Structure 1
Amino acid sequence: MQFDKLTLYPCYDLHTPAITERSVLYFLEPINMGTLECESLISYLIRLAEAHCVTPDKLIKHKIYPFFWGHDDLSTSDKGIIGRTFTNRSYIKLLNFSGWYTSKLVESLEHLTLRRDLTCLTMMHWHELITCVYLLRDCKAWCPSCYSYWHQNKLPIYEPLLWSFEPVAVCSHHHYPLITQCPYCNHRLPIIAPNSRLGYCSHCGEWLGNLEKYYKKSHDLYHSELALQSELIKILGLLIALNTQASQNESIRFYRQIITYFQLKELENIELSNSQISQKRIHKSMSSIKHTIEDFWKLSSRVALENCSKN
């Protein structure tokens, strides 16, 4: 056989191509990070489960729990991971805030999704300032107007971190009182349940964004509390919005040191004996935050006491 022309083909590259690391779970983007309306960690966990077409208890049991303890949770009773950790009120109310379980949950979710910013969905950066006394809810709260708007505009349903705080009684956007009881079955909803689905009752499964099912509170009572609520939302909202800068920004880190210093002195009118913290630097740091520590505690204590007296 005669070959007049030979075709030259490029050589095969037998080197293994560089493959970027793949995440176990979707690289899901948190909602409104760096703003007052930033998503909470529990909301992110429930959305992540829904994105994988599983219930939160399945995601926790088979993916998160092994990261916690190094083995699967094979228990099907209430003594399993769901009953023992994530639906126990003493633990669950801290998951959007700080503590060992919160840091471990953040660590596990970041490991599974390869994200590095999920701490910003909690108040871990501000644990020196915020304590859980009177501030964290035992049950879910929501704004039906937000749910309705997001649903109508085909936006993702989620729960802002701000809704996790007990003194926050109104929606920062609609100025509508937050709801804590299902209008269909009258149940108070846990912050997270084995079958939690954002925007729906975990007891009866009904949609919680139907505005016709809610009775609006007295207009006079609402306006009497609005100014106080607005101030509280400003303070908490500013700290939530600054979460994305708290670990990188030097001035924010210094502000956290000041918070710790004041808290150790029980937030009283103290004489600054620490020569490393000058009055000028303190004033500058406080000015950038717009509110003093005393302002926060007076306001949060006042709201908490008013809520306790009503109950």
Structure 2
Amino acid sequence: MFPLSLKNNFNSQDYTLERTSFPHRSCLNHLEIQGIQTFYIESLTGYLSRLSQSHNLPVGILMERELASLVGKQHGGANLHKISKFTDALNGTGVMASELTDALQQLTLKSNLKFLTLVPLAEVLPHNGLLRPDRAWCPACYEAWQEQGQIIFDPLLWTLDCVKMCPYHQCQLVLECPHCCQANAPLAWRSRPGYCSRCDGWLGSSTTLERESDQAWSKDNWDWFTWTANAVGELLAELPQLVVSFSRDNISRNLRVIVDHLCEGNIADFARHLQMPKNTVWLWCKGRNLPKLNALLRICYCLQLPLKSLLVGLDEGKLSWSIQRDNQFQKSSRNESKPFESDRVRSYLESIVSSEELPPPSMEEVARRLEYDRRTIYRHFRDLCQAVSLKYKRYRQESHLDIVEQVCLEIEEIVNQLHTDGEYPSEMRVSEYLSKPGYLRYRKVRNRLEAIRNEVLSQPID
């Protein structure tokens, strides 16, 4: 029923009643999207984190209370415990991203949230290797936004696995918190932009630390990673304005045009320029398979083309090889087969085993630092590799046990406080106060909660 208002009719000296309507209200805050039509358009997980913060609720609680009924349960629904290992998919091209987008648009009455994901590119980008499993960020961006009083948010660009550096500050993206040295999930129970979801430490910094991986990048690598970040950023910025539909047929057709124009139809010659298997390139040109984003970028880089042109349409008159960039990939390919430096690798592995570096690196990280395939190193130094892996595994186990004990102590305090306040210490109520609510999925933690709850409830309230 609409409210009624009185209207004075001065001619007839009587009053009439008119209906007054109000605009439809959103269930959740109508939060403005950050970075729209720029390189740094916001990610959907970042938007959800800011939305939760605006309601003064942990992300997990907001999802369970408001989104659970709107998101399909076959993919874990809105239960953050169930999808904790797959939250990167919420920014991707699949069903999880599209369903969360639809649910948030319904609750916030905010349109165009699909551009906070890669859903508009679902037809042309394979999901394998598209997004990194852990959160990445630029400390300099966080720091600058805070100093300038701007809204802090997490751009979609940082979620892509091929983007390794910030195009604005020319620094490598960070993957571990400088305070607790742990990686963050793209979306966690207590996620909020600019802060670690594990220890709540501030992630911004006005100075970027020079790391060993930075030193390993050659000038060619810097050029490649800089170009990649800018190329992907341009595409993300233009997506909301593009009216064309993306089709996998466009890619195969454009690749055939390139092969015909530059290599006289010789796919094998085209593959040699790219330093890629000719069978793989043949399947792309025939439309049998889709090239991954990194492969599309490599083609565009060698041809000096914007990424959009390969996805939509080409100007044949501007097609040409960049000899310098072509040679760069050939040089990179030759470096991959460089001689194995046995003494250097052995010495480095021994130093890792005896060092006190915390956290100790995994074998995957060691292989990346040495710039060799992990299997190659393992083939030469099986015992040392096993020692490195064992050291890493023990550290992870010890760290896990320490956190479990810490969570159990927190649970004891929370249950006692809730009981004192006259509230039943249910699992949901306890999780709202836990620093790491995700640990409730472990049996030891749940048993501890049950034991403390039984003990406390058997005592009378003072």
Same fold at TM > 0.5: yes
Residue 84 of structure 1 is matched in structure 2 by 82
Bigger Rg, structure 1 or 2: 2
- Tell me how far 1:126 sits from its aligned partner: 1.0
The answer to whether residue 32 in structure 2 is matched with residue 29 in structure 1 is yes
Task: Report the structure, 1 or 2, having the larger helix content.
Answer: 2
The answer to whether residue 250 in structure 2 is matched with residue 258 in structure 1 is yes
- Tell me how far 1:36 sits from its aligned partner: 1.2
CA deviation digits over 1:289-309, x for unaligned, max 9? x999xx9xxx9xx99xx9996
8 Å Cα contact 2:101/2:113 also seen in 1? yes
In 1, Cα distance between equivalents of 2:51 and 2:136: 20
The answer to whether residue 219 in structure 2 is matched with residue 216 in structure 1 is no
The answer to whether residue 368 in structure 2 is matched with residue 310 in structure 1 is yes
Length-normalised TM-score, structure 1: 0.75
- Tell me how far 1:122 sits from its aligned partner: 0.8
In 1, Cα distance between equivalents of 2:194 and 2:125: 28
In 2, Cα distance between equivalents of 1:283 and 1:132: 16
| Code of the aligned partner of 2:19 | T
8 Å Cα contact 1:34/1:241 also seen in 2? yes
- Choose from 61, 82, 86 the match for 1:58: 61
- Choose from 168, 183, 186 the match for 1:188: 183
In 1, Cα distance between equivalents of 2:310 and 2:156: 28
8 Å Cα contact 1:128/1:260 also seen in 2? no
| Code of the aligned partner of 2:245 | R
Correspondences of 1:7-156 after superposition (within 5 Å) = 11-68=14-71, 81-85=79-83, 87-89=84-86, 92-156=87-151
Residue 3 of structure 1 is matched in structure 2 by none
8 Å Cα contact 2:45/2:91 also seen in 1? yes
Residue 354 of structure 2 is matched in structure 1 by none
8 Å Cα contact 1:106/1:119 also seen in 2? yes
SS at 2:165 equivalent: coil
Structure 2 residue ranges without an equivalent (≥5): 1-9, 256-278, 288-308, 337-363, 370-462
Change (3 A) 1:187 1:11: farther
8 Å Cα contact 1:129/1:260 also seen in 2? no
Change (3 A) 1:69 1:129: closer
- Tell me how far 1:62 sits from its aligned partner: 0.4
Number of aligned residue pairs: 274
- Choose from 233, 239, 253 the match for 1:237: 233
In 2, Cα distance between equivalents of 1:221 and 1:282: 31
| Code of the aligned partner of 2:114 | T
- Tell me how far 1:256 sits from its aligned partner: 6.2
Residue 440 of structure 2 is matched in structure 1 by none
Greater mean deviation of Cα atoms: 104-113 or 190-199: 190-199
| Code of the aligned partner of 1:227 | D
In 1, Cα distance between equivalents of 2:311 and 2:53: 46
Structure 1 residue ranges without an equivalent (≥5): 1-6, 71-77, 273-280
Change (3 A) 1:55 1:291: farther
- Tell me how far 1:79 sits from its aligned partner: 11
- Choose from 189, 199, 218 the match for 1:204: 199
Change (3 A) 1:49 1:254: closer
CA deviation digits over 1:208-245, x for unaligned, max 9? 11346x52236654452221012212332222112202
In 1, Cα distance between equivalents of 2:27 and 2:314: 42
- Choose from 171, 174, 192 the match for 2:169: 174
8 Å Cα contact 1:128/1:259 also seen in 2? no
8 Å Cα contact 2:92/2:118 also seen in 1? yes
SS at 1:166 equivalent: coil
| Code of the aligned partner of 2:54 | A
Percent identity of paired positions between Structure 1 and Structure 2: 27
Length-normalised TM-score, structure 2: 0.52
Change (3 A) 1:49 1:284: closer
8 Å Cα contact 2:88/2:131 also seen in 1? yes
Change (3 A) 1:18 1:234: same
- The root-mean-square deviation of aligned C-alpha atoms, in Å, is 3.8
